[in-house]
Amino acid sequence: MTKQQLPKGWEMVKFGDIAKHISKRVEPSETDLEIYVGLEHLDPDSLKIKRHGVPGDVEGQKLLVKKGQIIFCKRRAYQRKVAVADWDCICSTDAMILEANPDNVIPEFLPFFMQSDEFVNRVIAHSEGSLSPRIKWKILAEQEFEIPCLEQQNKIVIASRKASIVVESIEQALLSLEKLKNQSLNNYCISYAPKKLKDFGVSLIDGDRGKAYPKTKDFKDDGYCLFLNAKNVTQVGFIFKEKQFIGKEQDKMLRKGKLIEGDIVITTRGTVGNVGLYCSCQFKHVRINSGMAILRCNDSELNNTFLYDFLRTKLARSLIVSKAFGSAQPQLTLKILENIEVPYLPSHKQIEFSNLYKKFDDIKQTLLAKKRNVFSFLKSIGNV
């Protein structure tokens, strides 16, 4: 955009004219500061630092951060990690420490601008490296951006403050909702005697080993089978972003792991205990790879939707994780799974449980949608 095309009151400036790069290093073992901030402590799209470590957690020189300075993740900028320090601390050298130049920009406006799509996309475009792309200060400092006048910056800051308060309120509501959900569902669980999965007559089936491929034009609609791996099963159910398939002939050769309507898939290696409920409307032919197992309800005493919802509760997940063995890569066996205990609820109580779970989930999704809308607003700040 040329200067003539800029909205009234806006100007084109180099990033180095509105931000200062601070690069003072410190040894963790020699500092009196009590807080260490690593990239893992920063949340995407949040200027607030909600957790941190201590200097004793790390070795090697780190960056010194003063209260109010901006911690910007210069590595993998697509993660959108920018935060403002609430205290003096030290942080990872994979970050860039910045502070606003008050002569050219309202200090509080700068971190909000750095959350904008315009800024993030420019950083991504000029980052170097393939596995872990990062931006250099000398390159970032030369980038030119359209910046509003001080009066408009102030309006944006005020609006952004209000938006941030809304986000904090939503996050508090989500925490309260999760606490209420756990308490309410736990009340069902502790009110009834437990019964092992094997005593409910649940069939447990291991996944099968096979070589899968991304879908190509060589696979006809009726000539392929989706081959699920552990990445396709998360804490929120099935995710089909990365799909792999096997051909019809290989499908016939495999002996186990074929899903039928209503099957529950559970991960048994690595991140154990994630579950998904299979519906044939998603994909007609599906098998599961090794590292997962199928739970198939054969007894009318146990509703598969109730079992799926129960396995997603905090109580059940904690139980399942505690049963896994192996530290580097935790694992579950069918023997362990068949002895997992499930509350022996009457059929109508199982339906009540699942209906209650769904109500909590619907409220959660509504709150998350509101949060996404606020984030969309925050990311649009600074875009012409």
In the chain, domain spans = 11-147, 149-192+345-384, 193-342
Helix (H, G, I), strand (E, B) or coil at 246: strand
Question: What is residue 204's predicted lDDT score, i.e. its pLDDT?
Answer: 92
Contact 286, 232 (CB under 8 A): no
Task: Report the distance separating Cα 147 and Cα 119, nearest Å.
Answer: 11
Q: Do domains 11-147 and 193-342 have the same CATH topology?
A: yes
Question: What is residue 384's predicted lDDT score, i.e. its pLDDT?
Answer: 42
Low-confidence residues in the chain, pLDDT < 70: 1-5, 210-223, 247-256, 379-384
Residues 6+ apart with CB under 8 A from 289: 207, 208, 209, 210, 212, 227, 228, 229, 230, 257
- Determine which helix (DSSP H) or strand (DSSP E) holds 144, and give its type and residue range: strand 144-147
Q: Please report the DSSP string for 188-228 in residue order.
A: HHHTS-EEEGGGGT-EEEE-B----B---TTS-TTSEEEEE
Question: What is residue 254's predicted lDDT score, i.e. its pLDDT?
Answer: 64
The yes/no answer on whether domain 193-342 falls in CATH 3.90.1150.10 is no
Question: What is residue 311's predicted lDDT score, i.e. its pLDDT?
Answer: 94
Task: Report the distance separating Cα 50 and Cα 53, nearest Å.
Answer: 11
Give the CA radius of gyration of the chain: 26
Question: What is residue 2's predicted lDDT score, i.e. its pLDDT?
Answer: 52
In angstroms, how far apart are the furthest CA atoms of the chain?
Answer: 76
CATH of domain 11-147: 3.90.220.20
Residue 197's φ and ψ, nearest 5 degrees, are -55, -40
Contact 246, 287 (CB under 8 A): yes
Helix (H, G, I), strand (E, B) or coil at 31: coil
